């Protein structure tokens, strides 16, 4: 079944330059980077993504998450895709990344690009384009993606465990992590909106349901009725099999209902609930939760994704163009 794409949001060139955050490497990225070397690159990615999401709509969230988890460790260099080797435990095998999915889809898209344009399109650019298309095909916004990233050759599980934003983080900690990547408080609350897509394994939120603290058995910031419902699915902190929708009833569609859940104290993670503890993030949550500012959120999300996609990029002679995304050349 064909999926109707969302209209492309218009972003001024000035924003794309501003989003480079003053980084010399990010400034070398450009929209249409492959126009001469692989002119159909974006169309090839889009065509494969349409097939992937049409067959498995639930993959939109995981493919977006892959890009997030890549950019927060060593920048957007596709290091999250590398396999572990005998002497190195890679990012994808770090505890926070054990539940990542979509690697096979990335390999599928990369293979199509290699067949059309060998040794040309980086895995880092593939991930960035797939994340954008995943959002758009889930009825979310689209945005221009500046390209020209190169692939890194280092991938460390230890770095991933240390640098990824934790699901139980509070706003000060999360802000510190975001600022270290050139992102700010607004990016934090906007990119949290990605939790409108996908599911989460029980251990990532079970700590809110059982033995929360010496004073409370469950997190008091979690709506009690919602907590009861979660317990019917997540039987204990050790339940690793059960999944819960991060945006109940709408986890395959990119929309603003996530913010309505958070505003009602029904965010799945502590990091979601934390957005109500800071005046700036709370105001944004409550505004978008009204359902009257979907266009504002869509525009904000595109802008924040452009900024995140420029974090720590390798360009020019840095890095390499991997032939297969899971192994260095």
Q: What is the pLDDT of residue 1?
A: 41
pLDDT above 50 for 7: no
pLDDT above 70 for 187: yes
Q: How confident is the model at residue 115 (pLDDT cuts 50, 70, 90)?
A: very high
How far is it, in rounded angstroms, from Cα 248 to Cα 272? 14
How far is it, in rounded angstroms, from Cα 308 to Cα 147? 13
Residue 162 among known ligand-binding residues: no
pLDDT above 50 for 4: no
Q: How confident is the model at residue 8 (pLDDT cuts 50, 70, 90)?
A: low
Residue 133 among known ligand-binding residues: no
Residue 272 among known ligand-binding residues: no
Q: What is the pLDDT of residues 24-48, one digit of tens each?
A: 677 789 999 999 999 999 999 999 9
Q: Are 288 and 86 in contact (CB under 8 A)?
A: no
Residue 196 among known ligand-binding residues: yes
* Coil/strand/helix, residue 300: helix
How far is it, in rounded angstroms, from Cα 260 to Cα 266? 8
Residue 261 among known ligand-binding residues: no
pLDDT above 50 for 2: no
Q: What is the pLDDT of residues 224-269, one digit of tens each?
A: 999 999 999 898 888 888 889 999 999 999 999 999 999 999 999 9
* 69 catalytic residue (yes or no): yes
Q: What is the pLDDT of residues 68-99, one digit of tens each?
A: 999 999 999 999 999 999 999 999 999 999 99
Which residue among the candidates 67, 69, 201, 261 is catalytic per the annotation? 69
Q: What is the pLDDT of residues 197-209, one digit of tens each?
A: 999 988 899 999 9
Residue 255 among known ligand-binding residues: yes
Q: For the chain, which residues make up each domain, given as ranges? A: 32-198+246-310
Question: For the whole model, what pTM was predicted?
Answer: 0.91
Residue 70 among known ligand-binding residues: yes
List, in sequence order, the alpha helices (H) in the chain: 13-18, 24-27, 41-55, 60-71, 103-116, 123-137, 157-163, 171-180, 185-191, 224-233, 257-263, 270-273, 279-289, 294-308
Q: What is the pLDDT of residue 241?
A: 82
Q: What is the pLDDT of residue 126?
A: 98
Q: How confident is the model at residue 9 (pLDDT cuts 50, 70, 90)?
A: low
Of 264, 327, 306, 321, residue with least CA distance to 26: 306
Q: Are 67 and 76 in contact (CB under 8 A)?
A: yes
Residue 165 among known ligand-binding residues: yes
Residue 195 among known ligand-binding residues: yes
CATH architecture of 32-198+246-310: Orthogonal Bundle (1.10)
Q: What is the pLDDT of residues 269-298, one digit of tens each?
A: 999 999 999 999 999 999 999 999 999 999
Query: What is the percent of the chain with per-residue pLDDT over 90, rounded to a whole number?
Result: 84
């Amino acid at each position: 079944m064909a999926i109707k794409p969302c209209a492309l949001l218009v972003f001024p060139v000035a924003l794309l330059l501003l989003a480079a955050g003053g980084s010399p490497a990010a400034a070398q990225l450009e929209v249409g980077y492959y126009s001469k070397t692989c002119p159909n690159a974006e169309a090839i990615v889009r065509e494969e993504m349409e097939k992937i999401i049409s067959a498995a709509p639930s993959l939109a969230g995981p493919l977006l998450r892959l890009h997030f988890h890549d950019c927060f460790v060593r920048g957007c260099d596709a290091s999250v895709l590398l396999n572990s080797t005998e002497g190195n435990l890679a990012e994808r095998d770090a505890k926070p990344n054990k539940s990542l999915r979509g690697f096979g889809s990335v390999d599928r898209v990369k293979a199509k690009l290699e067949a059309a344009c060998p040794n040309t399109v980086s895995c880092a650019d593939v991930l960035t384009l797939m994340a954008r298309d995943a959002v758009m095909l889930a009825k979310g916004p689209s945005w221009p993606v500046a390209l020209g990233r190169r692939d890194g050759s280092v991938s460390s599980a230890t770095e991933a465990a240390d640098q990824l934003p934790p699901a139980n983080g509070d706003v000060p900690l999360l802000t510190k992590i975001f600022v270290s990547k050139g992102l700010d408080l607004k990016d934090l609350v906007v990119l949290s909106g990605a939790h409108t897509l996908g599911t989460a394994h029980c251990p990532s939120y079970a700590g809110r349901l059982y033995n929360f603290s010496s004073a409370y058995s469950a997190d008091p910031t979690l709506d009690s009725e919602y907590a009861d419902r979660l317990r019917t699915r997540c039987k204990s902190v050790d339940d690793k099999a059960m999944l819960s929708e991060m945006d109940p009833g709408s986890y395959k569609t990119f929309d603003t209902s996530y913010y309505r859940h958070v505003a009602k104290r029904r965010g799945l993670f502590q990091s979601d609930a934390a957005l109500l503890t800071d005046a700036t993030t709370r105001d944004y949550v409550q505004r978008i939760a009204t359902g009257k500012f979907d266009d504002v959120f869509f525009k904000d999300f595109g802008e924040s994704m452009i900024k995140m996609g420029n974090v720590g990029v390798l360009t020019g002679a840095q890095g390499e163009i991997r032939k297969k995304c899971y192994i260095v050349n």
